[in-house]
């Protein structure tokens, strides 16, 4: 067993001047250089002796990194270094994407969320990342910037394995773009921890629904999960059941069971895989029921 260090190990801290400079640094010495924003994942991993970078680049200082912009046509653009409290208190996020507010508020503690960023949460690519399920069902686009300029990575292609994301050598996550919310939508993030609030998820479930004439049931649902597979995942089969409809207690139950069966959770200190599976079913059912009662036209 390797015990955490009493203090942070040595490294050099760099305030970058440009995206270009960071990309070059990352490209040249990718083993030794790490970008960071809140440091709430990175510092902990350094103290735990999991990684030992020699240079840390404070990329939240780059232009645009902490901006939040909303436009009815374009949607929401979040700089990668926007911290979770900034998301949760932004008036237009509260109005149009309450799901994101719920997800952000579910993380750790208020003081930690002043440092923890949305981009860091994604880049860290933990299976338990609380922001991931909501971004998956909102079909967020992640804007990476590298030596060859910007590139779009759909969020559902971003998570590769625990701790591994789709960024390439020299690339940095710059921005997260989310479409304007569909008409009449309602979303819910339900997280189960060992205690009432603030734990890492035993299971996290994001559910989104909205009226959609192109779906057979007249409604489209999206479902994503955290902490129950090597990466955050979508429950596409379960979504399909609901999109085909009709939406009823039975189809909701079927979707919940299908979601459960889509998970491959592990046993860890927080919970067993079996409990996680059982809880996915419960949380999905609860989420779907709540979403369904909120979006039913005339219902």
According to the binding rule CB under 8 A, does residue 298 interact with another protein? Answer: no
Binding part of the chain for another protein, among 129-137, 179-187, 228-236, 273-281 by CB under 8 A, reads 273-281
10 vs 213, beta carbon nearer another protein: 10
Q: State the binding partner of 136 from ligand FAD, another protein, none, CB within 5 to 8 A by kind.
A: none
According to the binding rule CB under 8 A, does residue 257 interact with another protein? Answer: no
Residue 45 Cβ vs another protein, minimum distance, rounded to whole Å: 11
Rule CB under 6 A: which of 89-108 touch ligand FAD? 107-108
- Near ligand FAD by CB under 6 A: residue from 23, 40, 156, 259: 40
Rule CB under 8 A: which of 227-256 touch another protein? none
- Near another protein by CB under 8 A: residue from 73, 195, 214, 298: 195
Structure tokens at 249: 């207690």
C-alpha–C-alpha distance, residues 200 and 270, integer Å: 8
Residue 108 Cβ vs ligand FAD, minimum distance, rounded to whole Å: 4
Binding part of the chain for ligand FAD, among 8-16, 124-132, 154-162, 178-186 by CB under 6 A, reads 124-132
Which residues contact residue 269 at a Cβ distance below 8 angstroms, ignoring those fewer than 6 apart?
A: none
Binding site for ligand FAD (CB under 6 A): 34-42, 44, 59, 80, 107-108, 112, 115-117, 119-121, 123-124, 128-130, 167, 172-173, 200
């Amino acid at each position: 067993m390797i015990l955490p260090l009493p203090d942070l190990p040595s490294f050099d801290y760099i305030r970058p001047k440009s995206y270009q400079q960071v990309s070059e640094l990352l490209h040249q010495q990718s083993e030794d250089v790490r970008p960071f924003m809140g440091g709430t994942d990175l510092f902990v991993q350094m103290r735990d002796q999991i990684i030992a970078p020699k240079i840390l680049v404070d990329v939240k200082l780059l232009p645009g990194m902490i901006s939040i912009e909303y436009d009815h046509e374009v949607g929401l653009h979040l700089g990668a270094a926007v911290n979770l409290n900034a998301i949760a208190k932004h008036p237009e996020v509260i109005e149009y994407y309450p799901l994101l507010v719920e997800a952000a508020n579910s993380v750790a503690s208020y003081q930690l969320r002043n440092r923890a960023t949305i981009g860091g949460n994604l880049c860290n690519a933990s299976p338990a990342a609380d922001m991931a399920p909501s971004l998956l069902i909102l079909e967020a686009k992640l804007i990476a910037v590298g030596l060859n300029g910007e590139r779009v990575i759909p969020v559902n292609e971003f998570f590769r394995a625990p701790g591994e994301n789709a960024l390439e050598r020299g690339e940095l996550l710059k921005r997260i773009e989310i479409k304007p919310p569909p008409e009449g939508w309602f979303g819910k993030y339900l997280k189960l921890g060992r205690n009432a609030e603030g734990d890492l998820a035993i299971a996290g479930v994001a559910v989104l629904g909205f009226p959609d004439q192109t779906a057979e049931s007249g409604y489209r649902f999206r479902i994503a999960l955290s902490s129950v597979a090597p990466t955050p995942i979508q429950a596409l089969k379960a979504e399909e059941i609901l999109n085909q409809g009709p939406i009823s207690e039975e189809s909701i139950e079927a979707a919940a069971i299908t979601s459960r069966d889509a998970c491959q959770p592990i046993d860890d200190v927080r919970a067993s895989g079996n409990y996680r599976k059982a809880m996915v079913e419960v949380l999905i059912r609860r989420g779907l029921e709540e979403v369904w009662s909120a979006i039913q036209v005339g219902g």
